[in-house]
Amino acid sequence: MEYPVARRDESVVDDYHGVCVSDPYRWLEDPDSEETQEFVGKQVNLTQSLLQTCETREKLKEQITKSFDHPRYNTPFKKGDKYFYFHNTGLQPQNVFYVQDSLDAEAEVLIDPNGLSEDGTVALKFAGVSEDAKYVAYGLSSNGSDWVSIKVMRIEDKFHEPHTLSWVKFGCITWTHDNKGFFYSRYPAPKQGDQLDAGTKTNLNLNQGLYYHFLGTEQSEDVLCWKDPENPMYRFEAQVMDDGKHVLLYIEESCDPVNKLYYCDLSTLNGLEGFKNSTDMLPFVKLVDNFDASYKAVANDATQFTFLTNKDAPMYKLIRVDLKEPSVWTNVIEESEKDVLEDAYVVNGNQILVSYLSDAKNVLQIRELKTGGLLHQLPIEIGTVWGVSGRRRDSEVFIKFTSFLTPGIIYRCNLAVEAPEMKIFRKTVVSGFDHTEFQVNQAFVPSKDGTSKIPLFIVSKKNIILDGSHPCLLYGYGGFNSSLTPTFNVSRAILTRHLGAVFCVANIRGGGEYGKEWHKAGSLAKKQNCFDDFISAAEYLVSAGYTQSKKLCIEGASNGGLLVAACVNQRPDLFGCALARVGVMDMLRFHKFTIGHAWISDFGCSDKEEEFQWLIKYSPLHNVRRPWEQHQDAKHQYPPTMLLTADHDDRVVPLHSLKLLATMQYILCTSLENSPQTNPIIVRIESKAGHGCGRPIQKTIDEAADQYSFMAKMLGASWIN
């Protein structure tokens, strides 16, 4: 391939604690410069020219489109005496928000974002309904950006309040029970104001504040409830409890599962109106004022509060405290030795629905709120609880379930009977998909350091012959305490059916599959464990006969994009293809852009000498090598690699992928007259899209068809009817 030659500015050199590190593509950090846009344009043309040669591209696009064309529902929830839910008829660009007076009543469209843009790039990010179900405050984002604008609508006649709340990012809406308004979090407005296309900017996100908005008022009149200018990286979120009296303030500094916890008794105030023109913030009382653990409120009875926490409990537990005696905390549900207590919901008066994670699969139980005693084990299959909806005052609860072979089932569970029944309320059916054609196995792969067994889900056609002949897609993440659990994916089901591919998910360290210790074993100084675990999973798939190196593709997104790029640098011989989506690739400068500073808790920071030494060893941008020089063998080269990013990704900004692309193309492809690197190194750049959320269905389909047809071509996989 003939690659565009990107200018190298050898004068850009940074001194990290006495170590000089060049950054010749620093100019790519400016997304608005003509030079960057010219570079992007040439790379887009190069990628399109290659994709046009991928034989399966149109077949994949056609089949994925057909399979996406089915009704999808989210878990319904109740406010006042009405039910609300999100729904997509199939190929609508964005999900639509519905309301109905009862489960048997005709549903009515409440908010349809599909009419707000011609190309479907305006997304409805969230909807917060007031307690009396008379108003809904909802957030819209454009072009996939994390930035949200909040609007308020009266439900009865769909009248919109004239005011819009801007510069909202990372947070949610929580209404007070007097239905006068709601709490939300936002950042200061930038100087550029409304003329700014915020989704393309890389400025740090600092000085968030918690505000209260009164219905019918301008944003400038909102009450500032809490801020902390001495700690500009703090983020705030409020939660109004079921009693309507107490509002909790969660304070986070990073992506680590830890938070401070304050509370305010609203009943002691003479309404929030008194704070409208005041310089005083709400009188929050500090219950937990350090970042030593995570605390999430489940329920309260007067001043007695029940929390889900990892305080002295890496696998999490349920604890209780009386605000009148804040130094006395008692255990309600003890920590499990093996399973992670993922979530808890108070339902049916004094019961708790708890969700455990057992070897990366969910288990559901009903327990007593007061004692934590087990009442019922709910019968769900091996898979993932994707959503739970229920109220303490109601005996019904809705549970959404999915798995690798189950597109989606919403159960309606009646807890008022002696033996709770899980009745199917809605079931997703994907045209042409027959789960009986496939099988799911789970292997446990020894880690390189011998300390752990890495769970590995393997999805394949039934009666597969383990002769190493199958194309294989291995997916991983391994970071930020996030767990990968069995979920249905239309595109990957098609790969298994029509390309004969084996699809695998590796639950490597750094995730939350086995609690806090599993997370910490793959972060900071131990980040290399993530890459070692992923490589071990890949080696197992080859040794067990599922595939061979030249037929093995690895994929990951965000932190998983970092995973893929680092593994390609470290073991280019092990993979036949690599798909690295929206990855964090410059580990020395990630903290300088948008919300990157929050990731220091997982990665460390190059500003500190010890942490710089961790990062420089695996940073994808700084570890691109010529494998043929190390092995003295021209056969050794990097696998075909596609980096994927989007022009409005304001979480992991595009500069990460662009700088890595320029570096790989230079070192591997263009700096030598007769480079042994014949495998392509390309980038796919989506326009008017962000990190992933809010992407229209058509863009999702197009991206899947592009990346998987590239994979198919590189692995030599042919279409099976």
Catalytic residues: 558, 649, 691
Q: CA 430, 432, 434, 440: dihedral to nearest 10 degrees?
A: -70
In three state form, how does the secondary structure of 42-75 look?
HHHHHHHHHHCCCCCHHHHHHHHHHHHCCCEECC
Tokens 């209780």, located at residue: 320
- What span, in angstroms and rounded, lies between the C-alpha atoms of 646 and 144? 9
CA distance 590 to 598: 10
| Helix or strand (DSSP H, E) at 609 | helix 609-618
CA distance 486 to 361: 7
Alpha-carbon torsion (188, 192, 193, 197), positive or negative: negative
Q: Which two tokens stand for residue 207?
A: 């000085």
Which string of DSSP letters, residue by residue, matches 554-606?
EEEETHHHHHHHHHHHH-GGG-SEEEEES----TTTGGGSTTGGGGHHHH--T
Whether the CB-CB separation of 612 and 587 falls below 8 Å is answered with no
Over the Cα atoms of the chain, what is R_g? 26
**Burial letters 309-333, b for 16+ CB under 10 A, else e:** bbbebebbbbbbbeeeeeeeeeebb
Instruction: Quote the CA–CA distance of 671 and 665 in Å, as a whole number.
Output: 8
To which residue do tokens 């549900």 refer? 333
Task: Using CB atoms within 10 Å of the CB of residue 5, give its burial: 0 to 12 exposed, 13 to 18 middle, 19+ buried.
Answer: middle
Q: Which residues pair with 96 in a beta bridge?
A: 87
Q: What is the distance between the alpha carbons of residues 64 and 490, in angstroms, rounded to a whole number?
A: 7
Q: Cα(299)–Cα(107) distance, rounded to whole angstroms?
A: 31
Angle at 398 between CA 392 and CA 401, to 5 degrees: 135
Our CA dihedral for 620, 625, 626, 631, rounded to 10 degrees, sits at -110
357 phi/psi in degrees, rounded to 5: -110, 115
- Alpha-carbon span 542 to 42, nearest angstrom: 37
The DSSP code for 652 is: S
